[in-house]
Amino acid sequence: MPLITLDYQDASTRMLSPVAPQPDHSKTFVHYLPLGATVLLLLAPHPSVIFVVVKYHLLTLEEPLLLFVHLAAIYTLSFLAFSSLIVCVARDPGPVNSVDEAGRGEGDGLMMSTVSDDVDFNGPGKWCRECWAPKPERTHHCSHCGRCVLKMGNVDPLLPPFSPLTTTAQITIARGLGHRTYPAFVHFLTSVTLLATYIAFVNGSALWFAFNNVLAIDEAIYLHELSLFFAGVIFALVIGSFLFYHVYLISTNQTTIENLSPFMLLRHLPPLPASNNAGRILSDPPSEHELTYEQRYIVREAHGAIRLYDIGLRRNWAQVFGWERRWGWVPRLLHGGGSKGDGRSFVRNPRSDDMLATLATELVKAGKDN
């Protein structure tokens, strides 16, 4: 009897079979600390807000209508922030799987992938060596989540991992930014920024009135107004800056990873010119560690000009926040929803091919000079 028995399995069968169980990311209280801190920060101002608007608008100014308007605006924005936060936590950001025979679709835990015969999985970024499965376009493996995510941006530390036990294996469902959660995340940033700005405005006006009418205001209200005003300004500046960064990413059709990783352009380069044989020899396509300092500088400069998926401002926003049904804009206002399309294929910038060809020529020329 042989000591070792080798089980030769057809490659196509291995690709279509469920992947091995991913590392266990079981839920513990530590995973919920960032989310709990976020919820606490959203709820903490409300007792002071109610105290200020009641003491100032109702008892001092005697304007109950203005009191109602401020409370309605503040709690509407709070509801919108919580609704999009729930979507980010509860929804799978972008499963790289297909529908199985039982009719289960995205987010049901089976990491099944259909393999196309005309795709070269040996190319850079086409095959995930962690999941051991094909990677669609703009898909990246999330080490925090333990699997690949469609159109992955980055992992949001506010969102904890979730580990359901499926019939095949315990698959960690990602809780990051992906194709199906990115609009909800931008909606959350927008709601929090508007909420912080509105609270800062209400308490700033109340604080200004208090400075000019010292005898008409209760001394206990000063600390609440001052604290809420500065907290609102700080959160509006911090979260607002983050929001404007993502507005820029949407307008140029980039993910956070694509924007911060200039050397990802190398995997999209066309075949290098024949003069690659002269001077410094590069792989085809080249790897980052093969480049000289001058070649790295050329790639970084090209990264600011070559936007592979930029198809115009209006179409970029439609790709993220677009809808197909008649009343599809309603979920966008309530919780952000998910992006349009399947998250696997994207329209390319028609000018990117010529720019990539120019970049390949410049890299070879810089290698010859060195």
Contact predicate 9/122, CB 8 Å: no
The answer on pLDDT for 286 being more than 50 is yes
Q: 61 with 99, same domain?
A: no
| Residue 286: count of CB within 10 angstroms of its CB | 24
Cα–Cα distance, 128 to 198 (Å, whole number): 45
Classify residue 256 as exposed, middle or buried by CB count within 10 Å of its CB (0-12, 13-18, 19+).
middle
Answer yes or no: is 68 within a domain: yes
What was the pLDDT predicted at 97?
72
Cis peptide before 285 (omega within 30 of 0): yes
Q: Which of 146, 172, 198 is the last residue of a domain?
A: 172
Q: 147 with 86, same domain?
A: no
Q: Tell me which residue range forms the domain holding 359.
A: 256-369
Structure tokens at 160: 């904890």
Q: 107 with 226, same domain?
A: no
Q: 212 with 346, same domain?
A: no
Q: 231 with 106, same domain?
A: no
Q: Which of 139, 172, 205 is the last residue of a domain?
A: 172
Q: Which residue has the tokens 């999009």?
A: 84
Q: Which of 140, 172, 204 is the last residue of a domain?
A: 172
Residue 150 Rama label (left phi>0; alpha psi -120 to 50; beta): beta
What was the pLDDT predicted at 177?
83
The answer on pLDDT for 140 being more than 70 is yes
Cα–Cα distance, 318 to 243 (Å, whole number): 18
Q: 125 with 215, same domain?
A: no
What was the pLDDT predicted at 1?
44
Provide the CA 234 distance to its chain's centre, in angstroms.
23
pLDDT digits (tens, 9 = 90+) for 194-245: 999 999 999 999 889 888 887 777 777 888 999 999 999 999 999 999 999 9
Amino acid found at 198:
Y
Q: 214 with 150, same domain?
A: no
pLDDT digits (tens, 9 = 90+) for 334-364: 999 889 888 888 999 999 999 999 999 998 8
Q: 298 with 358, same domain?
A: yes
Q: 52 with 147, same domain?
A: no
Cα–Cα distance, 16 to 132 (Å, whole number): 11
Contact predicate 136/96, CB 8 Å: yes
Average pLDDT over residues 117-131: 66
pLDDT digits (tens, 9 = 90+) for 16-69: 444 444 444 456 667 778 888 899 999 999 999 999 999 888 888 888 999 999
